[in-house]
Amino acid sequence: MAESHHSKGGAGILAKAQKRLVRTKAKVLQNLGKAARTTDQTFDEYVSNFNKQQAILTKLQKDLRNYLNCLKAVSYANKTLCDTLYEVYEDDWEDQKSFHSHLESFELHWMDYVSSLNDHVQEPIIIHLNKFPELRVKINKRGRKLVDLDNTRHTLENLIGQKKRDEAKIAKAQEEFTEAKKVFDDINNELQVELPEFYDKRVPFYSQSFQNLFAAEKAFHSEQGNISATLIEICESLSANFILPERKSTIRSVSESNHHLQNVIDSFQQFQMQSKDNGVISLVLKSDSENTTICPSQEDINEPESELYQNVTITNQEHPNSGESSEAVFQRTSPSLQASAKPSEDSAGSVSVCEENVSEYQSCLEDSSLYEVPPNNQSLKKLPDGILYQVQATHPYTQADSDELTFEAGEVIDVIEPDNLEEMDDGWLMGIKQSDGIQGVFPANFTKKLLG
């Protein structure tokens, strides 16, 4: 029994191979013009419309899938924004509960919107698209049976046209021609009805799909508009009813203190101009401390104007050359604002404090070890061979087709070169998940680039 079954299987494979050889030979003869070829312009038009419809519906399905993926990403971003707004709006503000409840409604409407598009638009398109392969099989089968019909007709015509006719061969050829014609007519008649009917159904199908698409869009944006209008009213009411609390300032402004100090400087400059023709002016700012500083402290700036003048004394002495001289002694008891008419070693050492601070800052800038520059401007981490770069998922994604990846936010994916770049859709990448090693395609707008 096993040998009989094996022999039948071998015979079947041999018969199929022989049929393919005969069909190939018949096509070659037709291409060379040595055999007649049956043509049907009406059927060819049906097939052309069928191919166009399949191509445009496939493009619509891919674009709608990308649109839904983008909506999921926007929905996730909207949820994150609403969570932050929820935290910003304080509990004691006006209509706090209403504000929070309307923010939560945003998330529910986004979920309903995406679900409606998937159930009433995307799924019907996929179901309709799955009908094309079945009709494609019938179209290809009709083509093969048409080649068999032309081949049997050509064989019969050659046998009839021979001078020495072989009636047995002619009868067998006539029988094969009749059988081939019957098989071809059966499948051809089916397609002559199915193809135009299937093509005409595209109008009501697209009409219903578009109605579902725009109805979902209208309902979503209408609800979003109503919620946004309510939130605007809440925010306007919050702004209108908010009263600023009264606060008494106890801090004296720096500009006011600087004004008092400027008055002292202006008074001294005026005295200097009036006394320059009468003698030599010496400015002595004495202090109990030995060191001398350049800049006054904050406490000195905040002192009242009267305190800055209380220890100023002016004395006139004879000039050594003219018999008369004048000396102005500008004395102030504040320990932080001191100067000497003649610089001393102590004052020079005190002045160097600012210079030391500048030197310390410059040494920080000149320290090359604070930042390490990679050699040749290359990445410090080398990627394995075959990996173009790495990306990290910013949003979760669930596969819509078997060749896509499913991942969560935060997962790292190694991006690789696709096997067929022409078949890749715009905005899609080929990669391998580091978590489980699964390879597939994924939308680039759900990730951010890390290395490469």
Domains of the chain, by residue range, sit at: 36-239, 387-449
Higher pLDDT, 92 or 216: 216
Which two tokens mark 139? 């179209």
Report how far apart, in Å, the C-alpha atoms of 225 and of each of 99, 111, 133, 373 are: 15, 16, 43, 52
Arithmetic mean of pLDDT, 121-148:
92
Arithmetic mean of pLDDT, 186-210:
94
Higher pLDDT, 187 or 352: 187
pLDDT at 255: 53
Task: Quote the CA–CA distance of 271 and 327 in Å, as a whole number.
Answer: 11
Lowest-confidence pick of 201-210, 261-270, 285-294: 285-294
CATH topology of domain 387-449: SH3 type barrels. (2.30.30)
Task: Quote the CA–CA distance of 168 and 161 in Å, as a whole number.
Answer: 14
CATH superfamily of 36-239: Arfaptin homology (AH) domain/BAR domain (1.20.1270.60)
Residue 201 pLDDT > 90: yes
Arithmetic mean of pLDDT, 411-417:
93
pLDDT at 155: 84
Task: Quote the CA–CA distance of 78 and 110 in Å, as a whole number.
Answer: 9
Q: ∠ CA 391-421-72 to the nearest 5 degrees?
A: 45
Task: Quote the CA–CA distance of 334 and 312 in Å, as a whole number.
Answer: 12
Task: Quote the CA–CA distance of 229 and 233 in Å, as a whole number.
Answer: 6
Higher pLDDT, 296 or 394: 394
For 249-278, the pLDDT digits (tens) are: 444 444 555 666 667 677 666 666 665 544
Residue 447 pLDDT > 50: yes
- Do 36-239 and 387-449 come out as alike in CATH topology? no
pLDDT at 178: 92
194-226 burial code (b ≥16 CB/10 A, e <16): bbbebeeeeeeeeeebeebbeebeeebeebbee
Phi, psi dihedrals of residue 440, rounded to the nearest 5°: 180, 180
Residue 35 pLDDT > 90: no
pLDDT at 57: 94
Q: Please give the distance of CA 163 from its chain centroid, rounded to a whole number.
A: 79
Whole-number average pLDDT of the chain: 75
